[in-house]
């Protein structure tokens, strides 16, 4: 994917050299969230996994300073992607999570569910998972997240996805509005084992499948 810039911000593919900065953006954007609590080491392994051929990983970078101000990532074939991630990096995820696990042994069931995650894809094949989008505090309100989102969707469509789906907390109205403004439709509501209410949204490319 070729980079595109405007308003002194460049959108381009994420590289290995971006990972440390992307992790910092994640921790600033999502304080107190479960993945953040697992620490920078766990997040480094998580984002490094999206640099494979099946992943889509993009960053928005200040054109002058080169500072990452936003990032997004997802997978073209989520079930295969997360299975591969577990096989190749289970030991790295485990080691990275050990300090948090030592402090809070009660998180073990949730950690195991996170490691075994397969993307919770809808039954219809051909869906790419939009896994995460984070904007560094101080850069909100500039349209950077929206531009990054559009770049992700364009990449997924060009690579053959029939649709893109995402999960959003049911009470996160700002993020739900962003998705709907991009053309996403609410598909269903569901609850995590921790009783966290989520909304699964989907954006279809091209004409609907028969029966849809």
Q: Tens-digit pLDDT profile for the chain (212 aa)?
A: 444 444 688 999 999 999 999 999 999 999 988 888 888 998 999 999 999 989 999 999 988 878 899 999 999 998 888 778 776 776 677 777 777 777 877 766 766 666 666 557 676 889 999 999 999 998 988 999 999 999 999 999 999 999 999 999 999 888 899 999 999 998 788 887 777 898 999 999 976 544 44
Give residue for tokens 């397969």: 118
Residue 146 has which token pair?
Answer: 């929206």
What are the residues facing 129 on neighbouring strands?
Answer: 75, 165
Residue 113 has which token pair?
Answer: 């569910």
- Output b/e per residue, 167-185; b: 16+ Cβ within 10 A: bbeeeeeebbebbeebebe
Domains of the chain with CATH codes: 4-204 (3.40.630.30)
* CA 161 – CA 63 distance, rounded (Å): 30
Q: How far is CA 184 from CA 5, 7, 83, 200, 201, in A?
A: 25, 26, 26, 10, 6
0.85 exceeded by pTM:
no
């Amino acid at each position: 994917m070729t980079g595109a810039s405007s308003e002194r911000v460049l959108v381009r593919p994420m590289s290995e050299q971006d990972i440390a900065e992307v992790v910092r953006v994640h921790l600033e954007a999502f304080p107190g969230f479960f993945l953040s609590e697992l620490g920078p080491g766990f997040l480094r392994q998580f984002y490094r996994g999206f640099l494979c051929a099946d992943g889509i990983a993009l960053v928005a970078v200040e054109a002058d300073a080169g500072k990452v101000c936003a990032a997004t990532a997802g997978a073209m074939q989520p079930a295969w992607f997360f299975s591969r991630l577990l096989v190749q990096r289970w030991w790295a995820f485990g080691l990275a999570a050990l300090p948090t696990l030592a402090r809070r042994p009660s998180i073990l069931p949730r950690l195991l569910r996170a490691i075994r995650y397969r993307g919770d894809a809808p039954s219809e094949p051909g869906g790419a998972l939009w896994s995460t989008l984070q904007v560094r505090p101080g850069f909100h309100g500039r349209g950077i997240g929206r531009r990054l989102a559009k770049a992700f969707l364009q990449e997924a469509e060009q690579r053959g996805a029939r649709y893109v789906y995402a999960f959003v907390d049911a009470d996160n109205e700002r993020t739900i509005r962003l998705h709907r403004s991009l053309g996403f439709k609410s598909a269903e509501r569901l609850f995590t084992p921790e009783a966290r209410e989520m909304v699964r949204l989907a954006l279809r490319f091209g004409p609907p499948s028969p029966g849809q």
